[in-house]
């Protein structure tokens, strides 16, 4: 098991320095989010500034971009990084896709499955293994003149991960994808007892093995050697759980541990604008189910102990370290030790 890190996209020159610091700390892969800035440009900056660090998107928004555009960008990033790039895709929510991007959304599950399958067909065509000929319900590709193809590269095809929470998308990830991005609002019990069986259904449907699918699991990681340091990071995690948990689609994550109705309570307070009230509902007991805390010397072992039985191919990603590193650059060596501890454990 190795430790990855989540990072938001940032100004490109700043991303280069940040990526080098992350690589120096010993993290295995840096996953880049997409919000106000594109994940792909940050991935290019990070990849060209580093030599060993894996680079991935977690996640890039799929539907506003043609699969041909996404395939071309992923192909170039894989080539430029010597195969260190992983393509992580997500659907986003309907309002953003239709009103911010003016793109088609529904039905998101079948559309995303076809998106992934068309990417795989395009990769085969880029490499020259077969003529481009993909004809689906939502996407069709049949034209790739030689002068418009990037041609084969010396790196492997980019691995394709998708973000998934609910059963349909989890099954699809197991059937056709290289990996699944678990939502950062999770618990080890939810992933292993609720989500993994759906992935296994998809794996069986696709004639694959569960070990073929990498579970990329973000974890909120409050850490500190003093009460003050630990309290600061725990409160940040408490706020994030209150935010994510207010989306009632994610209520099964609470219900796995008996917190029935908590998502509805959070949603009601969110509608009232009562942010403090939302946070107050996340008790220490709730917090400890959905985070992994520890001192700097124990966090690595605690992470592995919590998630070691979840799936045969598991990668952990600290969801909170990047912000800490940007705010407190002096803790770089501490995170380097956590990464080493995870690998050792």
Which domains occur in the chain, in start order?
3-222+293-344 (3.20.20.30)
What is residue 328's predicted lDDT score, i.e. its pLDDT?
86
Per-residue pLDDT for 335 more than 90?
Answer: yes
CA gap 203, 213 in Å, rounded: 8
CA gap 12, 25 in Å, rounded: 20
Q: How many CB atoms lie within 10 A of CB 193?
A: 12
Share of the chain above pLDDT 70, in %: 100
CA atoms within 13 A on the CB side of 344: 13
CA angle, corner 126, sides to 124 and 127, nearest 5? Answer: 65
Of the pLDDT bands very low, low, confident and very high (cuts 50, 70, 90), residue 227 is: very high
**CA-CA distances (angstroms) from residue 134 to 104, 115, 125, 243?**
19, 11, 10, 40
Give residue for tokens 């520890």.
294
Looking at residue 49, what DSSP letter applies? H
- Nearest Cα neighbor of 115 from 149, 185, 163, 54 is 163
What is residue 106's predicted lDDT score, i.e. its pLDDT?
92
Per-residue pLDDT for 191 more than 90?
Answer: yes
Q: The pTM is what?
A: 0.95
What is residue 327's predicted lDDT score, i.e. its pLDDT?
83
């Amino acid at each position: 098991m190795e430790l990855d890190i989540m990072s938001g996209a940032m100004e490109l020159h700043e991303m280069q320095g940040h990526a080098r610091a992350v690589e120096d700390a010993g993290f295995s892969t840096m996953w880049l989010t997409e919000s106000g800035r594109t994940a792909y440009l940050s991935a290019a900056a990070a990849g060209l500034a580093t030599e060993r660090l894996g680079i991935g998107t977690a996640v890039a928004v799929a539907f506003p971009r043609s699969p041909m555009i996404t395939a071309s960008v992923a192909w170039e990033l894989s080539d430029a990084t010597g195969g260190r790039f992983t393509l992580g895709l997500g659907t986003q929510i309907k309002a953003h896709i239709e009103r911010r991007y003016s793109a088609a959304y529904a039905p998101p599950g079948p559309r995303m499955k076809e998106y992934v399958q068309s990417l795989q067909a395009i990769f085969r065509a880029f490499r020259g293994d077969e003529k481009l000929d993909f004809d689906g319900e939502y996407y069709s590709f049949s034209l790739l003149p030689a002068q418009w193809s990037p041609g084969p590269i010396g790196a492997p095809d980019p691995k394709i991960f998708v973000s998934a929470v609910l059963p349909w998308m989890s099954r699809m990830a197991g059937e056709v994808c290289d990996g699944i991005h678990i939502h950062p609002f999770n618990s080890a019990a939810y992933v292993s007892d609720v989500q993994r069986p759906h992935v296994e259904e998809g794996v069986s449907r696709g004639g694959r093995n569960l070990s073929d699918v990498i579970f990329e699991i973000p974890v909120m990681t409050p850490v500190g050697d003093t009460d003050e340091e630990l309290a600061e990071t725990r409160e940040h995690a408490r706020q994030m759980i209150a935010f994510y948990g207010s989306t009632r689609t994610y209520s099964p994550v609470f219900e796995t541990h008996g917190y029935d109705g908590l998502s509805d309570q959070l949603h009601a307070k969110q509608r009232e604008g009562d942010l403090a009230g939302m946070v107050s509902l996340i008790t220490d007991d709730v917090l400890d189910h959905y985070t992994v805390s520890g001192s700097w010397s124990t966090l690595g072992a605690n992470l592995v102990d919590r998630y070691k039985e979840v799936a045969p191919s598991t990668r952990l990603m600290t969801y909170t370290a990047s912000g800490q590193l940007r705010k407190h650059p002096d803790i770089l060596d501490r995170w380097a030790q956590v990464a080493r501890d995870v690998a050792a454990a």
